[in-house]
Amino acid sequence: MIFLGRLRYRILAFTWLVFTGICTIALQQEEAQASPHFQAITIPGKTLEGNPLGDPVERRVAVFTPELPRFTSKLLTVYYLPGYGGSSEDFLGPNGDQFAASFQQLADAGMPLRMVVPDCRTRWGGSQYLNSPAQGNYADYILDEVIPLLEKHFGTPATPRDRIIAGHSSGGFGALRLAMMAPERFGSVVALSPDTDFEITHRPLAEEYVVKSITQKQMESFLSHGKQVVRPTSNLVQIMLGLSAAYAPKGPNEPGQFHWLYDEKGHWQKEVWQNWLEEDPVYIARRNPHLFMPYHKIYLDGAEHDEFGAQKGAKVLRDLIKPYTRVHFYESPEGHADYIEERLARGLEWIFDRKIRTIKGQ
């Protein structure tokens, strides 16, 4: 009898453990399904075919669509460009949860928006979202492939003014430059700590010893197209290589090649730096401040003590274009440059003239 009692106890205990285990798994699955998250959509990448760096052509975009009542009208889309080296792949994992939660909160408060994040990485990390024979045609990739394919899938906006392009750091630069190239394609821009005013934000980096000390032999190894890709050990050097590929290509007759800021003797090359400046939003605006139409809304921000001085360039750009379009600059207090999803939400609230949430730093 004692044995049977113990056996019965063990059976009951085992049954309880199995039951609680099943309940726990079900709850975890329910929470996972309920948690806002991005989905992946594959883009063929025809515009990237034959890119000189041999980078992947077919790539995934990350798309977040908030949960909405069935009667909700067609969603407006925010095309978000990550900072240097970032991509859609970052948003398809746990790193995208905060952005997804932020956009779901906006939707719950009556401002539903879809978020689309592309993958525009190159061998060097980032493409600056530009066309260049030294890297490939990433502006075309977004304008002529990503946006049309996504809108074919989800629906075309009532007017191009309903498109919003946004980004942070290099992505903020990309958002501004794409809107400058094709102002008729977008109605609003949200540029967070954008790369602008290169004399302030880029030149100090270009003059770092680790950059100016790169030898001609090292450059040749970096630019080789063999099976073994040689990359610099310095992150800063790799970033400068990527920026050079975007800003200073040698031309279509020398695919994959670009001009370096220093000659073989280590002397600064002014003409190469001028190539960089030709892509600087502030430099462009100084020559032609009529970059945007009166109906455009341009939101800029920057941290009070940004280590790269991005807030300084953003202020200059604001002052240059302010007489001709609607523009706003917000400077994060106490120098905070994190909480990107919160800063993006703040910019979108300004775009739609709605203050929905209490955001960090406000």
Distance of CA 85 to the CA centre of its chain: 9
pLDDT reported for residue 22: 40
By DSSP bridging, strand 297-303 and strand 188-192 are parallel
> 201-235 burial by CB neighbour count: b if 16+ within 10 A, else e?
bbeeebeeeebeebeeeebeebbeeeeeeeebeee
CA dihedral 194, 338, 309, 137 (to 10 degrees): -30
The Cα 290–Cα 294 span in angstroms is 9
Q: What is the pLDDT of residue 136?
A: 98
The pair of three-digit structure tokens given for residue 251, joined into one six-digit string: 């031309």
Least confident of 26-30, 268-272, 329-333: 26-30
| Per-residue pLDDT at 5 | 44
Predicted confidence at residue 73, as pLDDT, reads 61
The residue ranking higher by pLDDT, 4 or 15, is: 15
**Percent of the chain residues topping a pLDDT of 90:** 73
Q: What is the pTM of this model?
A: 0.88
Rounded to whole angstroms, the Cα distance separating 16 from 151 reads: 50
Rounded CA-CA distance 332/362 in Å is 8
Q: What is the mean pLDDT of the chain?
A: 87
Residue ranges of domains in the chain = 1-34, 39-201+276-351
- Tokens 């975890």 correspond to what residue? 28
**Can you give the three-state secondary structure of 220-249, one letter per residue?**
HHHCCCCCCCCCCCCHHHHHHHHHHHHHCE
pLDDT tier for residue 226 given thresholds of 50, 70 and 90: low
For 39-201+276-351, CATH number? 3.40.50.1820
State the pLDDT at residue 53: 94
